[in-house]
Amino acid sequence: MEREPQVVAVLGAGNGGCAVAADCALHGDDVRLFDFERFGDTIQAIREADATIEVTGDVQGTARLSYVGHDLGTAVADADLVYVVGPSYATEPFAVAYREVMRPGPTVVVCPGTNGGAIVFKRALGLDLSDPSVVVSETSTLPYACRLVGGNRLHVFLKLKAGLYVAALPSGRAGAVVSSMASVYPCATAYDNVFQTILQNGNNVIHPAVSLLNVARIESPDDFLFYEEGVTPGVGRLMAAVDAERLAIADALGAPILSEPAVGVIQGYMEEENYDTAYSRAPGFLGIKAQTSLEHRYLTEDVGYGLILLTDLARVVGVATPHMDAVITLVSTVLGRDLRAASPRSLESLGLGSMTGPQLLDAVQGNP
């Protein structure tokens, strides 16, 4: 049976937002792309290309969008799905803007949730986490490795084959969200609660370790390949140590997740299950260049939001995190500022301060 096209709004015109918008459009959906005026370059480029995105790589084609612009009301009008695609710092501004135009009905998918995105979004809407009038969900990761390569052109290095995990607020709606995403993301799988998607996010394991141990190369004038050249056995040992702490937090909380290499194999990025050659030889990571500045989300977001939130959670459930703490301290040093003191993401900022582990799970698993 041929499926009914959906009206899909995508908030965020960065790499991931353009990938989501293009992929949904190539699957026949009516797609509207929004971003704030201060991030207008890509919006303008797509407009000048007759509202199309040219996609190469693991997703291919010319994707035509029905709206590209800065009017959020127009973008979300009659939407069935609203994808919120951006880094952690963008989630709340999108939510604040969406609050002015929201209506019951559309499902919101923060993609990826990275560090409590669904909680942040729903709190900013002024809603209780279990309020069913607006379902806010999140994915554990972005479904693509992708980069904008100029103008309206996007290259997708990999689209996930599996291992895209989805949780919702209220938690009982995750299955319905997965169904609504299935035509474009058939690999989406429901998780029980958003702490699983928060903890399953592997960026906090990979990016800080590789970046920290390649600081000199990042600050040099020469480019290098982030995974192929940046991941060595020593770097892998730091990733393994951080991942062991992450898995221990998940186990103590009662929110089971997979190890980073295990999920990388499932997703199709990697062919080996280890912390060094699995990444440096990974087909899904080939050709991805490293950042050229330390002021990059691999440190500012994945440490400043991610690892700090994980260590906050670790203290609640009684798990020691010496390696995460060391990474936070050293990254603070190389960036020249105290990331803990400046972090906008903690259990307290999520409205979950002073709770025990079981209370945290109850708070996100409540259903009306």
Report, as residue numbers or ranges, the catalytic residues.
207, 302
Number of neighbouring beta carbons within 10 Å of residue 4: 9
Parallel, antiparallel, or unpaired for β 153-159 and 52-57? parallel
What is the C-alpha to C-alpha distance for residues 255 and 104, in angstroms, rounded to an integer?
A: 30
* E strands present in 93-232: 107-110, 136-139, 144-150, 153-159, 164-169, 188-190
Whether the CB-CB separation of 144 and 159 falls below 8 Å is answered with yes
Burial class (CB in 10 A: 0-12, 13-18, 19+), 355: middle
Residues in the chain: 368
Nearest in space to 151 (alpha carbons), one of 32, 64, 55, 72:
55
Parallel, antiparallel, or unpaired for β 61-64 and 52-57? antiparallel
Whether the CB-CB separation of 63 and 40 falls below 8 Å is answered with no
Residues 6+ apart with CB under 8 A from 110: 84, 91, 117, 118, 120, 121, 136, 137, 138, 139
